[in-house]
Structure 1
């Protein structure tokens, strides 16, 4: 069984645009996904990236065009200027970490639920009530929002270190453990699919 480390940001527009295609690919190839939320801003700092607020206007204008093109191509709702972006990624990331440790629900759905909440639903995913509602909607105990905060913080920090070591520098970023093959961006999922088919 192949193992995919999925480095993600709960406020990443490209993680939102990825939808649940990763889960579909993993199911098709009987692969296991380990979800690894990371602080994207720190990941940019650590790997030579530039935070969105500091990017040149031409890069941000192109980003806007590209995001809207992808949303139209995928036929998904998308607000290019969401009411709650950027927000603190830590609380939602801790919830994903706690849900993964707890098991029993739809973890891929929870991750997508957080990104969809930002980019299509105008919701604040740093808000405790939103986190609880999304946990419950995807089959998890909403009390996970309060449980294991220390462990969540430790795992969140460790995920950042692992991302840097693995060669990740953005999100979504997928690493196949067995081969070390890396795939950056939702537009590389077809290549991940083909790679898994070759194993």
Structure 2
């Protein structure tokens, strides 16, 4: 059975624009997923990237054009300048880590709910009540937001180290157990072709 390590940030717009497509294709091809939230800003600094606010104006302008286009293609509501971005991604990431360990809910739904909260609903995913609402929506115990903070912090840091070691430099990023890597929501069709043996 193929396996996918899914590296992402809970405040990444391109991760939001991936929607639920990863989960759909994993189910179709019998693949398992390990969700690995990470600190995207630190990842950039470790791998030669630049945070959006520090990029050349031409890159910022292109991003401002491309994100709404991609949202339209994906059929997802999208706010280019959400009220609560950037924000601290650590609390929501710890909740994802705790939920994955606890089980019993829908991980894809949880990740998408957190991203949707930021990019479409003007909610701050650093806030405890927002995180708990997203956990509940995805079928998890909202109390997970209060538990395992130390373990969550350790795993969050480990995810970053594993990402760097695996050649990850952005989000979303998909690493298959075959060693093939796919960067960006716009490469999900390539990932599916790989899982199907076509690529």
What secondary structure, in the 3-state scheme, does the structure 1 residue paired with 2:101 have? Answer: helix
Superposed CA deviations along residues 108-127 of structure 1, whole A, max 9, x for unmatched, are 00000011100000000000
Instruction: Return the alpha-carbon distance in structure 1 between the equivalents of residues 131 and 117 of structure 2.
Output: 10
- Distance apart, 1:21 and its partner CA: 0.1
Question: How much does 1:144 deviate?
Answer: 0.3
> Which position in structure 2 is the counterpart of 1:168?
168
Match of 1:190 in 2: 189
How many equivalent pairs are there? Answer: 198
Does residue 89 (structure 1) correspond to residue 89 (structure 2)? The answer is: yes
Q: Distance in 1 between matches of 2:75 and 2:181?
A: 27
- Hey, what does 1:181 align to over in structure 2? 180
Deviation at 1:53, TM superposition (A): 1.4
> Following the alignment from structure 1 to structure 2, what is the Cα–Cα distance between the partners of residues 44 and 108?
24
3-state SS of the aligned residue for 1:11?
coil
Q: Match for residue 62 of structure 1?
A: 62
**What SS does the corresponding residue of 1:183 show, helix, strand or coil?**
strand
C-alpha distance in 1 between matches for 2:108 and 2:150: 23
Counterpart position of 2:124: 124
CA distance in 2, matches of 1:76, 1:136: 22
| Pairwise CA distance, 1:101 | 0.1
Partner of 1:99: 99
Q: Which residue of 2 aligns with 1:10?
A: 10
Match of 1:111 in 2: 111
Give the TM-score normalised by the residue count of structure 1. Answer: 0.98
Mapped to 1, the partners of 2:162 and 2:74 lie a distance apart of 31
In structure 1, distance between residues paired with 2:137 and 2:29: 27
Structure 1, unaligned runs of 5 or more: none
The separation in 1 between residues aligned to 2:80 and 2:37, in whole angstroms, is 22
Give me the whole-angstrom Cα distance separating, in 2, the residues matched to 1:14 and 1:61. Answer: 16
Secondary structure at 1:198 match in 2: coil
- RMSD (Å) for aligned C-alpha atoms: 0.8
Structure 2: runs of 5+ lacking an equivalent: none
1:74: which partner in 2?
A: 74
TM-score after normalising by structure 2: 0.98
TM superposition shift of 1:73: 1.5
Please state whether the residue corresponding to 2:175 is helix, strand or coil: strand
1:31-70 aligned at under 5 Å gives the runs 31-70=31-70
